[in-house]
């Protein structure tokens, strides 16, 4: 039953550990309905919901909320309303684990850190949950073998799913990287913690022009170097983790035959589709001496 699956998910990702502003948990669905098929995705977009409907899924589990901000209509004249309508009309329940999945162990950032083979892992910082308790946010760890920044970026690209925008790096390609900080999803509010923890490089996403310029100047051009690896890409690795953990909590195998089947969405919800005019990293031109 859906109530059993929701209880298992709430145990894995307690609602109290979510940020006070977040909207997590069951968004749509009847707790008394059976669950035979579960689809996992980063975003509850219309395309993902259509995939769930076509696959005859009973439950869609996503990382990002559908209704994070207040809305005043669920009419099909807007995307949110169309999403709610499709879910309800087709009997697809929706469950969200967002910031409570970010701070979980294993969670979004720790799964990324594990994929990079980081050892001696510790928290990058903490976030206060709605229950008033502090929770670990982000991870810091050590590479088994030091690497150049360029080689590390190449390794990261191999670990993550490919995206249209690729991976953007701020730092000298030959710089040495050993200590790595990661924050899946948007993390430009953690530059200070990345410096304080002694990271050589900080991997996150959604990095903006002015915060990056300021962060690089605060670091005097040295570490931590910054890597924008994409929001969807850095969070997508978590999907296999939640799938495996939920099946284990339900006493089910992920392999057929099982009472509950599941799969990860094949829809790529990264919003970017292509780029043009990208250039390779080049050194800044030297400032000519004053005459």
Residue pair 2/30 in contact (Cβ under 8 Å)? The answer is: yes
Strand-pairing partners, residue 61, are 40, 95
- The model's pTM is 0.93
pLDDT tens sequence for the chain (291 residues): 999 999 999 999 999 999 999 999 999 999 999 999 999 999 999 999 999 999 999 999 999 999 998 888 888 989 999 999 999 999 999 999 999 999 999 999 999 999 999 999 999 999 999 999 999 999 999 999 999 999 999 999 999 999 998 999 999 999 999 999 999 999 999 999 999 999 999 999 999 999 999 999 999 999 999 999 999 999 999 999 999 999 999 998 887 777 899 999 999 999 999 999 887 655 554 455 554
Radius of gyration of the chain (CA): 21
Distances (CA, A) of 177 to 114, 126, 160: 17, 24, 19
Judge if 2-101+235-264 and 103-229 fold alike in CATH terms. yes
Residue pair 1/31 in contact (Cβ under 8 Å)? The answer is: yes
Map out the domains of the chain as residue ranges. 2-101+235-264, 103-229
Q: Please provide the CATH number assigned to the domain covering 2-101+235-264.
A: 3.40.1390.30
Yes or no: domain 103-229 corresponds to CATH 3.40.1390.30: yes
- Structure-token match 């669950």, residue found: 35
Ramachandran angles phi, psi of 108, nearest 5°: -55, -50
Q: What is the largest CA-CA distance in the chain?
A: 80
Query: How many whole angstroms from its chain centre is CA 168?
Result: 17
């Amino acid at each position: 039953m859906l109530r059993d699956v929701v209880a298992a998910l709430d145990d894995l990702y307690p609602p109290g550990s979510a940020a006070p502003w977040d909207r997590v948990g069951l968004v749509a669905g009847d707790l008394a309905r059976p669950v035979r098929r579960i689809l996992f995705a980063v975003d509850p977009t219309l395309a993902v919901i259509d995939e769930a409907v076509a696959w005859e899924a009973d439950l869609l589990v996503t990382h990002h909320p559908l209704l994070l901000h207040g809305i005043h209509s669920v009419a099909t004249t807007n995307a949110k309303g169309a999403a709610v309508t499709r879910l309800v009309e087709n009997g697809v329940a929706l469950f969200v684990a967002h910031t409570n999945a970010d701070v979980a162990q294993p969670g979004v950032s720790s799964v990324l850190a594990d994929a990079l083979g980081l050892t001696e892992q510790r928290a990058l910082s903490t976030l206060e949950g709605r229950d008033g308790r502090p929770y670990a946010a982000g991870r810091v760890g050590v590479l088994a073998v030091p690497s150049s920044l360029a080689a590390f970026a190449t390794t990261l690209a191999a670990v993550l799913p490919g995206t249209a925008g690729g991976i953007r790096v701020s730092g000298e390609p030959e710089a040495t990287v050993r200590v790595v900080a990661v924050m899946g999803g948007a993390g430009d509010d953690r530059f200070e913690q990345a410096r304080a923890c002694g990271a050589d490089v900080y991997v996150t996403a959604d990095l903006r022009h002015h915060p990056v310029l300021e962060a690089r100047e605060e670091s005097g051009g040295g570490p931590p170097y910054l890597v924008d690896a994409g929001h969807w890409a850095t969070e997508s690795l978590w999907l296999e983790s939640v799938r495996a953990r939920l099946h284990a909590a339900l006493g089910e195998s992920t392999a057929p035959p099982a009472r509950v089947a599941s799969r990860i969405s094949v829809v790529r919800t990264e919003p970017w589709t292509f780029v043009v005019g990208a250039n390779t990293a080049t050194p800044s031109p030297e400032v000519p001496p004053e005459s």
